Chain A
């Protein structure tokens, strides 16, 4: 049989790609290969998701009681988030210390302790091994080795920190504390939204067949908002008075887009929407109650997209509040888990507003559904010509903040940070 010679010349080399990052003249370039190559994905799991970062794993409110647990992922690594008898939150890798079976098989629940179904190894709510059947054998037969030390066989426990009810975990013992990692910009934005006890309204799960970093770009990209998402424009709801800013923290680790609807009061806002038929547009909403909301923050900001590296977006779109968690499933697939919430002190009317406005967001959201499509359009488009690059230049082609939304500066910031962390040169 004839063998086909392998051609090594075009083979992807991650280290070299990071080292010789392509230039794009006056703009910025991103190699297509970083969206498609398994080698890059595998390295990201190690250097980002299991590296010098904090990943979002859930909201404290999801596990209020002792024994409550939630299973989720950091990157592609399954983890369990659970509350112990002292009220602490623990995050462990969802993998039995014995033979590697997944210990927790439910999405969420309440248990006195965790037990692997394979051989019934039991762990407490901190992840410590507390029971091994037939450890000393049965009728003189079997048993674990004499020097078997229970303490050496606990579930792998991660660093955990909670910031205003958001639970983060890290595999790294050297990454800075969470608040330092978040930095002043992100910390303030989280404090603003998580300013009082929240009430969870539900989850939505969206599977997107593209690289997770295309979504990182998307959520750091104010340029596309009024061009791809046409809901407001179509119904004559776009208001040119809308102002926005796009900014990053000093490390360019996290990014935030904010905008104001442009009206000065809740009354004006409601009136503008109620009378939207007066707008010069071909289409009008039959039921404008969809957009009737309240101005609920003193700063009058009505849109916040806070993209935290590596796996979280915190959003406020009108009166919808949500966290979006990214879970990776290989270089060409990720899951987006949307958890929507309101506040414990919302009255019935306010909760109704949030529930109704949820029609705008999520996988079927009238103003958000296209993001899944955009990610896949790029993924499909870049499958060939792996030596080619994308071009990013709006706003000047540099990783700079902007006091407008006609920019891609925050996307470039993401890539600069990515390049650093993947090269082991993280600056924090």
Chain B
């Protein structure tokens, strides 16, 4: 994976498409349309939410690690029906997606994110800060996450984490 020197020239249409895809992903979560969330991924996707502490050491443990779209669906069914947690709202704020490479199959793109969480007491807190290391691909022409690794700096998950990042 190229880690520096992203290509200088990116087709502006592609940049716009990728930006809109990421913005749409964030809006899907922030507006609580969580049942649609798995649809942003390929069937054999990898979604990982991992601390930088583990990522930097090359250790596998992640807060969430789903290696199929089915597991993403299960997460949401569990959230809706099984898990107990305080009602809350997310607000994702994303940086400009930096496209690192484009080939016939994959688009590698890195994006910083901040997730604010607001509980019912009205207080908003910086809940999770990190970066997305994404590999996008096209399925029937539409962008999907083939791999989405959210590496978070905020290394103290407040209370619990149930809603995806």
Which residues from A are CB-within-8-Å of B75?
A: 366
Flag if A358 contacts B54 (CB, 8 Å): no
Flag if B81 contacts A364 (CB, 8 Å): no
Contact of B160 (CB < 8 Å), options: A233, A358, A370: A370
Which residues from A are CB-within-8-Å of B74?
A: 235, 285-287, 290
Flag if A358 contacts B65 (CB, 8 Å): yes
Is A355 in contact with chain B by the CB < 8 A criterion? yes
Complex Cα distance A186/B84, Å?
Answer: 31
Interface mask (A285-300 → B, CB under 8 Å = 1, otherwise 0): 1110110000000000
CB distance from A251 to the nearest CB of B (A): 32
CB distance from A315 to the nearest CB of B (A): 14
Flag if A207 contacts B66 (CB, 8 Å): no
> Provided the pairs A202-B61, A290-B74 are in contact, do residues A370 and B159 lie with their beta carbons within 8 angstroms?
no
Flag if A362 contacts B60 (CB, 8 Å): no
Which residues from A are CB-within-8-Å of B157?
A: 204-207, 363-364
Contact of B61 (CB < 8 Å), options: A107, A286, A340, A370: A340
CB distance from A228 to the nearest CB of B (A): 6
Chain B residue nearest to A322 in the complex (CB): B61
Q: How many A-B residue pairs have CB under 8 A?
A: 128
Complex Cα distance A283/B81, Å?
Answer: 9
CB distance from B114 to the nearest CB of A (A): 18
Which residues from A are CB-within-8-Å of B78?
A: 231, 234-235, 366
Is B17 in contact with chain A by the CB < 8 A criterion? no
How many B residues touch A, CB cutoff 8 Å? 37
Which residues from A are CB-within-8-Å of B86?
A: 373, 376
Among B54, B69, B86, B161, max chain A CB count under 10 A is at B161
Flag if A230 contacts B71 (CB, 8 Å): no
Chain B residue nearest to A206 in the complex (CB): B157
> Provided the pairs A203-B53, A287-B70, A369-B161 are in contact, do residues A231 and B83 lie with their beta carbons within 8 angstroms?
yes
Which residues from A are CB-within-8-Å of B10?
A: none
Interface mask (A333-377 → B, CB under 8 Å = 1, otherwise 0): 001000010000000000100011011001110100110111010
19 A/B residue pairs, CB under 8 Å, sorted by A:
A203-B59, A207-B156, A228-B84, A230-B82, A231-B82, A234-B81, A235-B82, A285-B70, A286-B69, A286-B73, A340-B61, A356-B65, A358-B61, A364-B157, A364-B161, A364-B162, A369-B161, A370-B83, A370-B84
Interface residues of A (CB under 8 A from B): 107, 200-209, 228, 230-231, 233-235, 282-283, 285-287, 289-290, 335, 340, 351, 355-356, 358-359, 362-364, 366, 369-370, 372-374, 376
14 new A-B contacts, CB < 8 A, other than A286-B68, A359-B64, A366-B82, are A201-B59, A203-B54, A205-B51, A205-B155, A207-B158, A359-B65, A363-B160, A364-B64, A364-B160, A369-B162, A370-B83, A370-B85, A373-B85, A376-B159
- 4 tightest CB-CB pairs across the interface, nearest first? A202-B61, A286-B70, A287-B70, A202-B59
